[in-house]
Amino acid sequence: MSDENKLKAGTESSSVDGSPTHADRVRDERSAILIEAVEKLAGAGVINDIVATLRATARRLIGADGVAVILREDEQCWYVEEDGMGPLWKGQKFPLASCISGWAMLHRESVIIEDIRSDDRIPQALYRDTFVRGLLMVPVRSDDPIGAIGAYWSDPYRATTQQVETLERLARATATAMENVRLVAALSKALSDAELARDELRHRVKNAYTAAQALASLTLPLEHHRALNARIAALARAHELLDEQLAHQEFITISQLVSAELEPYATSESARLKLSGDPIELESAQAVALGLAINELATNALKYGALSKPNGRLEVEWSVKESHVVLSWREVDGPQVRAAAIENFGSRLLRRLVEGQLRGTLQRELSGAGVTCTLEFPLGVSRSKARAST
């Protein structure tokens, strides 16, 4: 059996001397690819990010000769992206009733076809000029499919149970990512109603954490999923703390807010985070917007800045000047960050939060030492305990 076929089937007898077999290496490689895909999907800001991640990982994940990403658009299947040994149908749209991806969506189930030439659900004319003989089609979101992921083989081939389960797990992660993208878009318009936005965010975030923990437990080795779940639990605790404080009191201090948002990124090294400032209280609407802004800064620091390095440090200071809150975010001993790395969807959301919701200003500077960011916004009518500094 060739290495390629072993990758497809994922089978090999146990090694006599106890060393890793080909099957072991295949499983490890697929686990690494799946982790990479889930991490990228979790951080996707727009649908294009999700599609790009699927194109880059799905084919390698299951060892197919080609993959396609399909979105449902009303009563049509839209083949938005593909990666294969030959061209498929990128950019084309077909009626749901005349496409195997449409069949999978309409019937809400995965489709395994060993040889397309012997299956009457396949529109043979559309496949005549392609390399496809065997295929696996998995719907995205089982209760009300919004798309599908297709995997194709150039010879008659029946996808294994492991390949089906793996692609279905990727489809579930994709559904969660698409829901998160939809949620962020909705929240950016609904932040003027802070109570509604917070309730919706609480519900969706808890669901996302639960889904991420379940996926980690299903796909990662025991020691790895325990570490990842501990990190996810820390993030969940931070959001829960914010929810509880704002649910029982009208105000929250900036110290409580910043500490809750950054606690998951703290380590045993006490000097990694340095937080200091005046005892300023914020109303719930301002607190929600500032909390989301701090989360965006922390996410960028984890991806590109000081929090991505073991020795990186973060200094956050805040004060009141002439009835305005001035918050300084300074990253130290991190990697050199390029401007393009921070001009992403999260950065655009950050600017909208500061300028739109907080009615303030945002300044960001890049240097060899790290990222420096200054947020300034009016304090409004809150019961600040701090006097304006002179």
**Mean per-residue pLDDT, 348-352:** 79
pLDDT at 10: 45
Query: Mean per-residue pLDDT for 133-148?
Result: 92
Give pLDDT, residue 223. Answer: 67
Q: Could you read off the pLDDT of 54-98 as tens digits, one per residue?
A: 888 888 888 899 999 999 998 999 999 999 999 999 999 999 999
pLDDT above 70 (res 187) = no
Read off the tokens for 152. Answer: 């194709």
User: pLDDT tens, 163-174?
Assistant: 999 899 889 888
DSSP letter string over 252-317? EEHHHHHHHHHGGG--S-GGGEEEEE---EEEHHHHHHHHHHHHHHHHHHHHTSGGGSTT-EEEEE
Which range among 262-266, 279-283, 295-299, 336-340 shows the weakest confidence by mean pLDDT?
Answer: 336-340
Termini Cα distance of the chain: 78
Q: Report pLDDT for 388.
A: 42
Q: What is the mean pLDDT of the chain?
A: 80
pLDDT at 153 over 90: yes
User: Residue 190 has what pLDDT?
Assistant: 57
- Please report, for the chain, the start and end positions of each structural domain, with discontinuous segments joined by +: 3-178, 249-378
Question: Right CATH number for 3-178 from 3.40.50.300, 3.30.450.40, 2.40.50.140, 3.40.250.10?
Answer: 3.30.450.40
Flag whether pLDDT at 138 surpasses 80. yes
Give me the percent of the chain exceeding a pLDDT of 90. Answer: 33
Most confident of 119-133, 204-218, 288-302, 354-368: 119-133
pLDDT value, residue 287? 81
CB 129 within 8 A of CB 123: no
Q: Give pLDDT, residue 20.
A: 66
342, 334 in Cβ contact below 8 A?
A: no
pTM here is 0.47
In this prediction, residue 8 has a pLDDT band, given cuts at 50, 70 and 90, of very low
Q: How far does Cα 31 stand from its chain's mean position? A: 17
pLDDT class of 380 with cuts at 50, 70, 90: low
Q: 355 phi and psi, to 5 degrees?
A: -80, -35
State yes or no: pLDDT of 16 exceeds 70: no
Architecture of the domain delimited by 249-378: 2-Layer Sandwich (3.30)
